[in-house]
């Protein structure tokens, strides 16, 4: 497909379990972003990747959260030992990267994570 693809669309798991969320960006987009959005709230930045540069992890809320991007394409966000406060929609976005000029980000449909 032409858009950002995220999987799974919904994930329900028990507290304490690990989860992996996947994002497949738009082909040719070198920048990839993860956000979290709780019900009725704004976007909370988590992490972004740009090309081969070291990712900016400044938004990760704790060391239970990690992300990787293999081969400059698909990214996986991992949450270890999940807590109920991790319940949210996790959104992935991708964009071109043109230096000083900002490029629009294009979002996937998100993964709705529910921790029981």
Partner 1 sequence: QKEVEQNSGPLSVPEGAIASLNCTYSDRVSQSFFWYRQYSGKSPELIMSIYSNGDKEDGRFTAQLNKASQYVSLLIRDSQPSDSATYLCAVNMIGGSQGNLIFGKGTKLSVKP
Q: Which residues bind partner 1 (CB under 8 A)?
A: 31, 33, 41-43, 45, 48, 50, 56, 58-59, 91, 95, 97, 100-110
28 or 42, CB closer to partner 1? 42
Q: Which of 8, 17, 21, 34 is nearest to 83 (CA)?
A: 17
8 or 16, CB closer to partner 1? 8
Distance between CA 109 and CA 92 in Å, rounded? 8
Q: What share of the chain is helix, strand, coil (3-state, %, to 5)?
A: 5, 45, 50
14 or 99, CB closer to partner 1? 99
Shortest distance, position 7 Cβ to partner 1, whole Å: 14
């Amino acid at each position: 497909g032409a858009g950002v693809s995220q999987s799974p669309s919904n994930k329900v798991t028990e507290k304490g379990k690990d989860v992996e969320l996947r994002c497949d960006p738009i082909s040719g987009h070198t920048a990839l972003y993860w956000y979290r959005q709780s019900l009725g709230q704004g976007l909370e930045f988590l992490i972004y990747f740009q090309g081969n540069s070291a990712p900016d992890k400044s938004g990760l809320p704790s060391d239970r959260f990690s992300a990787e991007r293999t081969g400059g394409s698909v990214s996986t966000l991992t949450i270890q030992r999940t807590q109920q406060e991790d319940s949210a929609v996790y959104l992935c976005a991708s964009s071109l990267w043109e230096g000083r000029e900002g490029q629009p980000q294009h979002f996937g449909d998100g993964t709705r994570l529910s921790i029981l």
